[in-house]
Amino acid sequence: MAVPANVREFEATIDISSTYSGTTAAVLGAVGASAGIWVRIDRGDGLPFLESFTPLFDLISAVAWGRGASGTDSRKVRVPFTRASSSAGDVTVLAGVQCHADAGGVFAIADVTVEADIASICVRST
């Protein structure tokens, strides 16, 4: 997205809906699973990428234990950011879902499923 000169303060708004489920179980081991909304912004000014993570769920199971999470979520994720330069330039906003599942042990399982729809990504000056 092109941004005008003489403006440095912005906010990216991502309108996202998701359906998610996660399961962890361990008899002899340990398990973790998580999922969330990930946003990465290239401010186009030479600074490192700005990253933001908004959790949907986090699960941890240890010996002889199991947990689960499921649901639907609809939200607007807002990420404020500042450009180092006041000259005109381009800003790139990427958004999606980041998931992780890790199981260790003799009898341990982890499963994560997420479906997400991004309705819009908007960048405005603040």
What are 42-81's pLDDT values in tens digits? 999 999 999 999 999 999 888 778 889 999 999 999 999 9
Question: Residue 106 above 90 pLDDT?
Answer: no
- pLDDT category at 29 given cuts 50, 70, 90 is confident
Specify burial of residue 3 (Cβ count, 10 A radius: 0-12, 13-18, 19+). Answer: buried
Question: Residue 18 above 80 pLDDT?
Answer: yes
pLDDT of 66 reads: 87
* CB-based burial, 110-125: b 16+ in 10 Å, e otherwise: bebebebeeeebebee
Please tell me the total count of domains within the chain: 1
Domain range for 14 = 2-125
Q: What pTM value is reported for the model? A: 0.83
CA-CA distance, 12 to 42, in Å (whole number)? Answer: 11
pLDDT of 105 reads: 83
Highest mean pLDDT (candidates 56-60, 64-68, 108-112, 116-120)? 116-120
Tokens of 101: 């599942």
- Cα dihedral 37, 40, 41, 45 in deg (nearest 10): 160
CA-CA distance, 122 to 59, in Å (whole number)? Answer: 31
* Whether 11 contacts 79, CB under 8 Å: yes
Tell me what the pLDDT averaged over the chain comes to. 92
State percent of the chain over pLDDT 90: 75
CA-CA distance, 125 to 21, in Å (whole number)? Answer: 36
